[in-house]
A and B are shown apart, each in its own frame.
Chain A
Amino acid sequence: MRARFATGLLAGVVALAGACRETRDGGIAANGPPVDAADGGTLIVAVPAEPGTLFPPLVTGTQGAAVVSALFDRLAEIGPALETYGDQGFTPRLASRWRWSPDSLSIAFTIDARARWHDGRPVRAADVRFTYLTYVNPAVGSEGAPLLASIDSVTAPDDSTAVFWFRERTPRQFFDATYHMVVLPAHLLDTVPPARLADAPFARQPVGSGRFRLAAWEPGQRLEVVAVPDHPRGRPHLDRVIWSLVPDVNAATMKLFAGEADFYELIRPENLPQLARTPSVRLVDNPALQYGFLGFNLRDPRGAGAAHPVLGDSLVRRALSMAVDRRQLARSVFDSLGITALGPAPRALIPDTLAFTAPAHDPAAARTLLEAAGWRDGNGDGIRDRNGRDLAFDLLVPNSSQTRQRYAVLLQEQLRAVGARVTPRILEVNALVAQLDAHTFDAYLGSWQTSPGLAGMRQTWGSTGGGNVGRYASPAFDAAVDSALTSRDPVAARSHWSRAFRQIVADAPAIWLYEQRQPVALHRRVQVPPLRADGWYADLADWWIDPAQRLPRDRIGLGTPP
């Protein structure tokens, strides 16, 4: 009896498994052939987290940014070279054309007459005005507000013209007006009090004017956008894009290799051998505008306003920079998928990388410098001290970043070799942010995503910047950055930037550690234009599936679900 039961169970499992293999790919309803042969296809993106909100002014993180980029339009899109001077390289999106005023203090955008919101209503200039007011409203609390400071106001003289008025002429006027904002529908949002916009139904069911519209969002599982077939700029080649939530890194990699996901951003060096053995998946270069660093707190954490007892001395900081073999660390952590960072910006955005050099790896010189600064090993324990205080500090690391945790352990060892005791403290993100905001830390491992044109430099390393938690304050650096950002002559701006970088590298408020060169894994059948450095999702509407390599899920078509 028991044997029969077991056999029956086994048979049931085998039948289930056998059925599994079939239905994984087959049995899908098709809704007619696509018009253009290259049209059609379902792209599945494996992501480790889902966006919290899809209300564009409050979106943080790549997942939300990717979905917003698909659903919404900017007035004009930046060119692939990410040039921020004037309007070179920008292509029309929601605005079909624009006209500068003779004194360059205003730009008049003409809204595309064919532009429609996903609910059918036409896009009007009042929407642009409403968008600007929402982004800069302090009650909304958008992170983009400080970046729109150069805009004085936005007016809508008629339904199809939106005029941006600027306080002064800057080289980035056009960039400021178009890059940081996606246009929001006023008719759906203007009745909601600004403080409640984050919780309005719009945050989970956004309506945009982009080439994709939101089809479904199953919380905790997936988010699906489908193509808008009658979009004025043409329907996207893909039928749909599904962001599929896979929190576990190993499971996501398995999903990719099994063919159930087409795109995965977080492929790691450990997976490269398996990727080489899987013919259906390939790597695509994904330049990123990100850099990692070890940031020092230049002020005393106890809050007296005095300099940090150990790290307030720039000689000590420079010596610690020299003690670290950054190239070896980058090789160890990233293999060939990472390079050292040169300064407070990714190399792609630094106008002149030869104008300055970070301190080279030289442990002997580091020791000499520390001795000169008065740090000697008085008690023979291997750690330098001065006036009874050890050359020791805590290094805060977020538990969410494997990369930075690895760096912390490696840095601890390298700095011990010159007589500094570094204690990595891995903290949960809330604890880390709380300490950073309160400035009660010694050092931390941080990472910044940089905007094109280095527009955010004031916020990250300027003395009044909200992101400058180490409280680095150099009037010379501030002045150089200001000149660089406001200068209308590219050559002059280059020299200002070089001056700024030389200053900050000499002051060494941080050890500039790495830039990740993370390729993304993509299914062979997906054809893509070169990925933009500020986000791989920028040209999602232009991705297409090779008709000769279509999978069954590419043949679903645009019809509504059965």
Chain B
Amino acid sequence: MRHPSRPVRLFGGLVVVMLVAPWLAPYAPEAQLDLVAQRGLPPSWTHWLGTDLYARDVLSRVLAGTRVTLAVALGSVVLSMGVATVVGTAITLAPRPVSTLLAGLVEALLPVPRLLLLLACSAALTPLSGAGLTILIGLTGWVAAARLVADETRRINRSDFVLAARAIGLSEWRIMRRHLWPHLQPVLAAHATLAVAAAISAEAGLGFLGLGIAPPAPSWGNIMRDGAGVVTTQWWLTVAPAAAATLAMLACHQVGEAFEESVLMVPR
């Protein structure tokens, strides 16, 4: 029997890591050490994850970038999952005109490349704060998840226990809360974990458009972008943030699983 507050504990642990990480950095993340002799060094005892093209210690940059990267990634995933859930359930459950309109909106938005949407926004927005970045990534990434939620909702809608609940006369709101929501968990949790990775790389991609975290402030996406041109020769610039992202995703995965288990244990 699992303790119902396990997901809360795990999430709390993640937040603690985010807060503490920058303090553990051995060097200042923006300090450019010897520009000629110490650039692009592979991992060694003095620099556990090597140095980058500007002679900055990679480990320090990864640790310092934890806070902003995770905040943006988690925030944008929560935002996009929220919007996706609302729109997705509305597509199936709302009255006809609203439902058709939303369905059409989702179908029209899906093929438009994210790059295009971000470019269109980039003209109006000059360098973004972390919050602005979160909103931008969140609001451009909900469409696929909305489709998933819509499909799942329609499927659950037809299942026996929902039909039974309707037959007894339970209110729509009650049905959604007690029957729909728990069964959306697996899909949402699976998608959300992957969305975290997508959000991190979206932040890196935004750097190319001048909208990401402005240099010299580190973020995992920044480090990956620095390493993109030298993937095969200075591999540590790609492996370090990717490993950090894997750990973060693993943590999210655990949170998702624990959440799922605790929710599914609630008696119907």
Touch between A and B in complex, CB under 8 Å?
yes
A residues bordering B, Cβ < 8 Å?
A: 249-250, 253-254, 268, 270-271, 274, 328-329, 331-332, 399, 402, 406, 408-410, 412-413, 423-428, 431
List chain B residues, Cβ under 8 A from A268: 229-230
Q: Which residues of chain B have C-beta atoms less than 8 A from A399's C-beta?
A: 208-210
Q: Is the CB of A423 within 8 A of B214?
A: yes
A249 to B229 CA separation, bound complex (whole angstroms) = 7
List the B side residues contacting A412 at CB < 8 Å.
Answer: 215-216
1/0 per position for B226-259, CB-CB distance to A under 8 A?
A: 0001111110000000000000000000000000
Query: A413 contacts B209, CB within 8 Å?
Result: no
Q: Is B39 interfacial (CB-CB < 8 Å)? A: yes
Partner of A332, one of B30, B36, B119, B229: B36
Q: A399-B208, A406-B53, A431-B209 are in contact. List 11 more A-B contacts (CB 8 A).
A: A250-B231, A270-B234, A271-B233, A331-B35, A332-B35, A408-B215, A410-B32, A412-B216, A413-B30, A423-B214, A426-B207
Contacts of B210 in A (CB 8 A): 399, 425-428, 431
CB of A402 within 8 A of CB of B229, answer: yes
Within the assembled complex, what's the spacing in Å between the Cα atoms of A399 and B122? 14
5 contacts between A and B (CB under 8 A): A331-B35, A332-B36, A399-B210, A423-B127, A427-B209
CB-contact partner of A431 in B36, B123, B214, under 8 A: B123
| In the complex, B40 has a CB within 8 A of chain A | yes
Instruction: Specify the chain A residue showing the minimal Cβ separation from B31.
Output: A413
Give Cα A329–Cα B232 distance, bound, in whole angstroms: 24
- Contacts of A425 on B, CB cut-off 8 Å? 127, 210, 214
Given A328-B36, A399-B210, A410-B35 in contact, is the A424-B215 Cβ separation under 8 Å? yes
Interface of A is mostly: helix
If A250-B231, A270-B234 touch, whether A428 touches B216 (CB-CB below 8 Å) is no
Question: Which residue in chain B gives the minimum CB-CB distance to A426?
Answer: B210
A434 to chain B minimum Cβ distance, whole angstroms, is 9
A229 to B39, CA, bound (A): 51
Q: Which residues of A contact B181 (CB under 8 A)?
A: none
Q: Is the CB of A413 within 8 A of B216?
A: yes
Chain A residue contacts of B214, Cβ below 8 A? 423-425
Q: Which of A253, A270, A410 contacts B54 (CB 8 A)?
A: A410
Residue of B nearest to A271 (CB): B233
Min CB distance, B128 to chain A, in Å? 12
Binary A-proximity of B177-216 (CB < 8 A = 1, otherwise 0)? 0000000000000000000000000000001111000111
Contacts of B230 in A (CB 8 A): 268, 270
Q: For chain B, what secondary structure do more than half of its interface residues adopt (helix, strand, loop), or is it mixed?
A: loop
Interface centre among B35, B207, B214, B231 (most CB of A within 10 A): B35
B39 contact set on A, CB distance < 8 A = 332
Contacts of B35 in A (CB 8 A): 328-329, 331-332, 410
The 5 closest A-B pairs by CB, nearest first: A332-B35, A270-B233, A427-B210, A426-B210, A399-B208
Contacts of A426 in B (CB 8 A): 207-210, 215
Shortest C-beta distance, A97 to chain B (Å), equals: 50
B-side contacts of A413, CB under 8 Å? 30, 32, 54, 216
CA distance A402 to B229 in the complex (A): 8
Q: Are A431 and B122 in contact (CB under 8 A)?
A: yes
Residue from A331, A426, A427 with most neighbouring chain B CB atoms (10 Å) = A426
Chain A: minimal CB distance from B54 (Å): 5
Q: With A and B bound together, what is the CA distance between A557 and B232 in angstroms?
A: 36
Contact with A along B50-61 (1 / 0, CB 8 A): 000111000000
B204 to chain A, nearest CB (A): 12
Residue of B nearest to A432 (CB): B210
Bound complex: CA of A434 vs CA of B15, how far in Å?
Answer: 42
Which residue of chain B has its CB nearest to the CB of A335? B36
Nearest-Cβ distance from residue A439 to partner chain B, whole angstroms: 17
CB distance from A406 to the nearest CB of B (A): 6
Cα of A163 to Cα of B208 in the assembled complex, Å: 51
Given the complex, which residues of A lie within 8 Å of B30, measured CB to CB?
413
Shortest distance from the beta carbon of A486 to any chain B beta carbon, whole Å: 43
Bound complex: CA A271 to CA B123 (Å): 37
| Docked complex Cα distance between A428 and B214 (Å) | 14
* Assembled-state Cα–Cα distance A358/B24 (Å): 44
> Per-residue CB proximity of B32-73 to A under 8 Å, as 1/0?
100110011000000000000111000000000000000000
Residue in B closest to A331 when the chains form the complex, CB atoms: B36
| Minimum distance in angstroms from A423 CB to a CB of chain B | 7
Residues of A within 8 A of B119 (CB): 428
Closest residue to A425 on the B side, CB-wise?
Answer: B210
Chain B residues with Cβ under 8 A from A423's Cβ?
A: 127, 214
List residues of B (121-158) whose CB comes within 8 Å of A's CBs. 122-123, 127
Cα A331 to Cα B232 with chains together (Å): 22
Bound complex: CA A254 to CA B231 (Å): 12
Residue contact B209 to A428, C-beta cutoff 8 Å: yes
Give the shortest distance, in Å, between B219 (CB) and chain A (any CB). 14
What residues of chain B lie closer than 8 Å to A329, measured between beta carbons? 35
Shortest C-beta distance, B122 to chain A (Å), equals 7
Nearest CB to that of B35 among chain A residues? A332
A428 touches B123 (CB 8 A): no
Bound-complex Cα distance A424 to B207 (A): 12
CB-CB < 8 A to A406: which residues of B? Answer: 53-54
Distance A271 CA – B32 CA, assembled complex (angstroms): 23
**Chain B residues closer than 8 Å to A270, beta-carbon distance:** 40, 230, 233-234
A406-B54, A408-B215 known; A428 vs B208 contact (CB < 8 Å): yes
Provide the residues of chain A in CB contact with B127, threshold 8 Å.
423, 425
